[in-house]
């Protein structure tokens, strides 16, 4: 495009430098300008100015565009979480509530009598099965929720804990902004929630459960274990003369010291 | 101390020159190379050369000497890496590189340009957005806005002059 003025004025030079930086010059004009860059300090400074204006304007316009983005699309992580994540949390909460009610004797499960006690002959097998089922359901719910709550590239932007956060803070604010921008744009570009849901659905239940055994928090495991303990007194209630379990304190090597 | 070393440029002078011109040099090199890492490499090479033979230059012309050395080195790198054709025929995006080691612009520059952008007439600002943010060519902008190419160029040039004057270090000619 031969639309550039050949005036030696600074304005014309700046304009040409801008066109050079934004690739608006023809090959011939570019070569001419680069020859000029070798000789003229003014031309070199003009290129530096053009880059400065260009990048500053890009930053400002990017900010303006980001601010104009609706909230629902600006925070796709939470939007994605609200779909299945809250459902999984709800399921987990309901299961825990059911466990609590059952322990308190307010919830009658199939196979139990009116007082919430289980028939003697069925007690061990029934509670084993129910315990395992509820435990698996809890573990699966927890795993799904955890996967939804963990951003795919959390490690890259330092969401994995205070240590990672502190390391991240060592970089410059611009890099931090770039990193978070990159992560945000990834979330903006993709439907993360459906992606994550598909990933979870494609995973076999066995694999999920194996993962859950490792990752399920202790409080949740304790809730499941509480069922086992509640089963024993119920069975014993039917057989009060049976052997009572010994109350023992776990011995450790450190106790003597 | 050997006489050769006595003639070398004082490291304090080199450091002062670096502090004074690093950012501007990097912007120039980015404009030529479109690669922040390469720009940093060339910047380093230019200052190594300054330390080696800067003592042969006059103090008042050292900045121009430094910029010329950097420019030569940048063009040489482009030739060596056979980037020239790629750069000329299909320049990479002019967006700020995410991998940049140092920011090319300062906070006060962004603030100044923000104010200047806000003060632009809407028709000029629209051209700036389409050219700089959407990265459309002037021909595309003219076609999209249904205006002559000269009008699009004229508006951009006016806007650019205003934005340039907002730069903190800009000195009127």
For B69, residues 6+ apart whose C-beta sits below 8 A from its C-beta are B46, B49, B50
Residues of B in contact with A49 (CB under 8 A): 27, 164, 167, 170
In this model, does residue A122 exceed pLDDT 80? no
pLDDT of residue B24: 93
b/e per residue, A202-241, with b = 16+ CB within 10 A? eeeeeebeebbeeebeeebbebbeebeebbeebbbeeeee
Cβ within 8 Å, pair A59-B105? yes
Residue B27 CA to residue B39 CA, distance in Å, equals: 8
Choose among A133, A93, A125: nearest CA to A231: A125
Cβ within 8 Å, pair A51-B157? no
Choose among A149, A253, A156: nearest CA to A193: A149
**Listed ranges A117-131, A209-223, B116-130, B158-172; the one with the highest mean pLDDT:** B116-130
Question: What three-state secondary structure class fits A112?
Answer: strand
Q: What is the mean pLDDT of residues B75-103?
A: 59
Residue A22 CB neighbour total at 10 angstroms: 19
* Higher-confidence position of B167 and B91: B167
Q: Is the ipTM of this complex over 0.95?
A: no
Choose among A106, A128, A126: nearest CA to A116: A106
> Residue B151: closest CA among chain A residues belongs to which residue?
A3
Residues of B in contact with A17 (CB under 8 A): 31
Cβ within 8 Å, pair A47-B28? yes
Task: Establish, for the pair of chains A and B, how many residue pairs have beta carbons separated by less than 8 Å.
Answer: 120
CB of A214 within 8 Å of a chain B CB? The answer is: no
pLDDT of residue B147: 95
Question: What three-state secondary structure class fits A217?
Answer: coil
Q: What is the mean pLDDT of residues A43-62?
A: 92
Task: Tell me the per-residue pLDDT of B9-63, one tens digit each, with 9 for 90 and over.
Answer: 888 889 999 999 999 999 999 999 988 888 999 999 999 999 888 888 888 889 9
Q: How many percent of chain B have pLDDT more than 90?
A: 53
pLDDT of residue A2: 42
Helices in A40-85 by DSSP H: which ranges?
A: 41-68, 71-74, 76-80
Phi, psi of B91 (to 5 degrees): -60, 140
Compute the Cα dihedral for A63, B114, B28, A12 and give only its sign.
positive
For A54, residues 6+ apart whose C-beta sits below 8 A from its C-beta are A18, A21, A22, B94, B132
pLDDT of residue A231: 53
Cβ within 8 Å, pair B25-A3? no
Residue B162 CB neighbour total at 10 angstroms: 17
**pTM, full prediction:** 0.53
Residue B165 CA to residue B173 CA, distance in Å, equals: 11
Task: Tell me the per-residue pLDDT of B144-156, one tens digit each, with 9 for 90 and over.
Answer: 999 999 999 999 9
In this model, does residue A202 exceed pLDDT 60? no
């Amino acid at each position: 495009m031969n639309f550039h003025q050949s005036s030696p004025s600074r304005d014309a030079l700046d304009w040409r430098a801008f066109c050079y930086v934004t690739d608006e010059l023809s090959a011939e004009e570019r070569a001419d300008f680069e020859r000029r860059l070798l000789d003229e300090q003014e031309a070199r400074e003009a290129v530096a100015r053009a880059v400065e204006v260009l990048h500053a304007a890009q930053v400002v316009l990017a900010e303006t565009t980001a601010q104009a983005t609706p909230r629902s699309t600006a925070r796709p992580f939470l939007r994605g979480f609200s779909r299945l994540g809250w459902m999984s949390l709800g399921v987990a909460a309901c299961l825990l509530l059911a466990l609590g009610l059952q322990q308190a004797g307010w919830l009658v499960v199939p196979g139990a009598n009116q007082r919430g006690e289980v028939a003697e002959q069925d007690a061990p097998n029934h509670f084993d099965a129910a315990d395992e089922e509820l435990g698996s359901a809890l573990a699966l719910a927890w795993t799904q929720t955890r996967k939804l709550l963990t951003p795919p590239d959390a490690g890259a932007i330092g969401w994995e804990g205070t240590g990672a956060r502190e390391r991240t803070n060592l970089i410059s604010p611009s890099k931090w902004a770039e990193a978070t921008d990159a992560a945000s744009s990834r979330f903006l570009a993709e439907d993360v929630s459906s992606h994550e849901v598909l990933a979870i659905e494609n995973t076999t239940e066995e694999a999920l459960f194996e993962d859950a055994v490792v990752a399920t928090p202790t409080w949740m495991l304790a809730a499941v274990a509480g069922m086992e303990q509640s089963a024993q007194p119920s069975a014993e209630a039917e057989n009060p003369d049976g052997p009572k379990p010994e109350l023992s304190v776990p011995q450790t090597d450190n106790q003597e010291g | 101390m050997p006489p050769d070393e006595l003639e070398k440029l004082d490291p304090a002078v080199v450091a002062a020159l670096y502090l004074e011109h690093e950012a501007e040099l990097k912007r120039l090199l980015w404009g030529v190379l479109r690669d922040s890492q390469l720009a940093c490499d060339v910047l380093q090479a230019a200052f190594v050369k300054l330390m080696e033979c800067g003592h042969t230059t006059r103090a008042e012309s050292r900045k121009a000497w430094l910029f010329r050395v950097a420019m030569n080195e940048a063009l040489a790198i482009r030739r060596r890496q056979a980037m020239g054709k790629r750069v000329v025929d299909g320049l990479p995006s002019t967006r700020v590189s995410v991998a940049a080691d140092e920011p090319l612009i300062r906070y006060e520059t962004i603030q100044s340009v923000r104010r200047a952008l806000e003060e632009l007439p809407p028709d000029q600002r629209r051209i700036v957005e389409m050219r700089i943010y959407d990265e459309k060519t002037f021909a595309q902008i003219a076609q999209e806005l249904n205006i002559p190419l000269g009008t699009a160029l004229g508006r951009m040039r006016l806007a650019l002059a205003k934005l340039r004057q907002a730069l903190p270090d800009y000195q009127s000619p």
